[in-house]
């Protein structure tokens, strides 16, 4: 129980049900019957619900597509892994030493354990407490989520795939100027549209500008 008390100190949460906390950090390779899988399932849903509601509050004017991308960036396995590392969960997770394959998926285990811990906190303290824990733990990443920008090329690609099931067509028309200061003229079109052209200091820049122009013509901006 000494290790659990250290984890409780890091989490700043005192568990009445120590077995629940122990289960939340137990991988199936250590105990095939009592492990964190069901808690992870529960924690994943609570995390998604909490972050979804917070994003609507933070960005009331954002379109659903933008909110969806922000949510995906905040609740994916990589983010949960980062949070798990911040909470130092890897120092407490119980895994079977004999299974060498476990070592290869350490990131996934830490990520899963992060979600299972949320599930355990929910059972132990209820939704309001768990919501506060999540928002406090994710705070730094929530404030950074406003840098997530859906660029013009991505928007145009999504529009084209949704409406025509085909990708936009980009075409380099010309490349002029010296190597250290080139100018690219690029055209882009989708089904049922004409080519729209733009010029930029790089192919990528010109493509973004052209995509942006076409989106405006399509009334998608």
- Catalytic residue annotation: 44, 115
Residue 61: both structure tokens together: 């004017």
What residues have CB less than 8 Å from 162, skipping those under 6 apart?
Answer: none
Burial 93-105 (b: 16+ CB within 10 A, else e): bbbeeeeeebeee
Render 126-175 in DSSP notation, one character per residue. Answer: -HHHHHHHHHHHSHHHHHHGGG----HHHHHHHHHHHHHSS--EEEEEEE
Region of 136 on the Ramachandran plot (φ > 0 left; ψ -120 to 50 alpha; else beta): alpha
Pair of tokens at residue 191? 């089904």
Residue 165, CA distances (Å) to 157, 160, 168, 196 in order? 10, 6, 10, 20
Residue 219 backbone dihedrals phi, psi, to 5 degrees: 60, 40
């Amino acid at each position: 129980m000494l290790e659990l008390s250290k984890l409780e100190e890091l989490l700043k949460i005192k568990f009445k049900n120590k077995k629940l906390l122990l289960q939340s950090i137990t991988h199936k390779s250590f105990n095939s019957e009592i492990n964190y899988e069901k808690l992870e399932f529960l924690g994943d849903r609570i995390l998604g619900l909490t972050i979804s509601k917070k994003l609507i509050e933070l960005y009331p004017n954002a379109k659903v597509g933008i909110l969806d991308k922000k949510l995906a960036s905040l609740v994916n396995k990589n983010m949960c892994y980062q949070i798990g590392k911040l909470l130092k969960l890897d120092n407490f997770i119980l895994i079977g030493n004999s299974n060498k394959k476990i070592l290869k998926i350490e990131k996934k285990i830490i990520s899963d354990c992060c979600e299972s811990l949320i599930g355990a906190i929910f059972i132990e303290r209820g939704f309001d407490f768990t919501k506060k824990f999540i928002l406090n733990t994710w705070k730094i990443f929530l404030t950074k989520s406003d840098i997530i920008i859906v660029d013009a090329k991505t928007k145009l690609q999504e529009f084209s795939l949704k409406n025509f099931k085909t990708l936009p067509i980009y075409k380099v028309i010309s490349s002029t100027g010296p190597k250290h200061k080139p100018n690219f003229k690029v055209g882009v079109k989708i089904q049922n549209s004409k080519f729209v052209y733009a010029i930029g200091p790089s192919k990528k820049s010109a493509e973004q500008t052209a995509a942006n122009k076409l989106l405006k013509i399509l009334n998608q901006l």
